[in-house]
Amino acid sequence: MITAGIDCGAKTVKVVILKDDKVIGKAIIPAGIDTKKASEEAFEEALKEAGIKKEDIDKIVATGAGRADQPFTKDSVTEVSADAKGINFLYPNVHTVIDVGAEESRAIRVDGKGMVMDFAVNEKCAAGSGAFIEAMARALEVTVEEIGPLSLQYKQEIAMNAQCAVFAESELVTLVHQQTPKPDMARAIHAGISDRIVSMARRAGLEPDIAVIGGVAKNPGFIDCLNKDLNTKVIVPDDPEFVGALGAAIAAKEI
């Protein structure tokens, strides 16, 4: 049986093609302004990698904030259940999965079968999402890829008062004027977001093992702060941003 999952996020569209419990194709494309077009491109690319045609796929399931905007299927699952299914498939021992995406973050408590026990979501405020790091990277004039590794070179832990991304930007300007070293500021940025994510995750309940997924999971500066705040070593899957799409592909098998 061949199934596909398509995850239409705020910033990117992800597609995963699954054949008999094995990922045979995947693709990620910036969502841009046209989710439909991005979905088609991502699907095309994943099909190419899998070496199959669209007709070979038995079932497609969509997830993500823009899941209604893709042209392939009317079947969908929520991001929460897609994340739970995806992480359970990869790491059955994980009981808490933290998903930090571009404009949303969520923490989900999962049982051993990939069922959702409880969850907490933030979709109202940029302070706990990738958008925060993006805005801060811009203020520090580094790329989103650079800011994480840069933060690991910190010498001193400083605290940032502002939570709000807009206020934090002004605070950074002040810190820059005070000639604070960039790595110290980058560290403070990650410590701040980690703190907010952990308090959200506590609402869902934290149960080991803990995994972190979503695009921000690729940021080593953030993971380092999370490990410190949670006093554990979190699991980061190889392609953390694909876990939702993977979960959708798994859901497609079940529908």
Partner 1 sequence: MAEQQQKEYWRWTESRWHNKDIDWKKADMITAGIDVGSVSSQAVIMVDGELYAYSNTRTGSNSPDSAIKAAKMALDGTGMSIDDIHYTVGTGYGRVNVPFANRAITEIACHARGANYMYGPTVRTVLDMGGQDCKAIHCDEKGKVTSFLMNDKCAAGTGRGMEVFADLLGVPITEVGDLSLQVDEEPEPVSSTCVVFAKSEASALLRAGWPKEKVLAAYCSAMAHRVVTLLEKINVEKDFAITGGIAKNKGVVVRLEKELGLKALEPRYDTQIAGALGGALFAMGLLRKQRAKK
Choices 51-59, 125-133, 199-207, 218-226; region in contact with partner 1 by CB under 8 A: 125-133
Choices 67-75, 82-90, 159-167, 186-194; region in contact with partner 1 by CB under 8 A: 159-167
Q: Minimum Å distance from CB 177 to partner 1? A: 4
How far is residue 241's CA from residue 16's CA, in Å, rounded to a whole number? 11
Binding to partner 1 (CB under 8 A) within 69-98 occurs at none
Cβ contact 178:185 at 8 Å: no
CB atoms within 10 A of CB 231: 6
> Of 71, 167, 202, 232, which lies in the binding site for partner 1, with binding defined by CB under 8 A?
167
Which residue lies nearer to partner 1 by CB, 115 or 164?
164
For 142, phi then psi, to 5°, come to -130, 170
The residues near 108 (Cβ < 8 Å, ≥ 6 apart) are 80, 83, 84, 96, 97, 98, 99, 116, 118, 119, 204
Residue 197 binds to partner 1 (criterion: CB under 8 A): no
Q: Is the sign of the CA dihedral 205, 206, 210, 215 positive or negative?
A: positive
Residue 255 binds to partner 1 (criterion: CB under 8 A): no
Residue 124 binds to partner 1 (criterion: CB under 8 A): yes
| Binding stretches for partner 1 (CB under 8 A) | 10, 33, 103, 124-127, 131-132, 135, 141, 163-167, 170, 173-174, 177-178
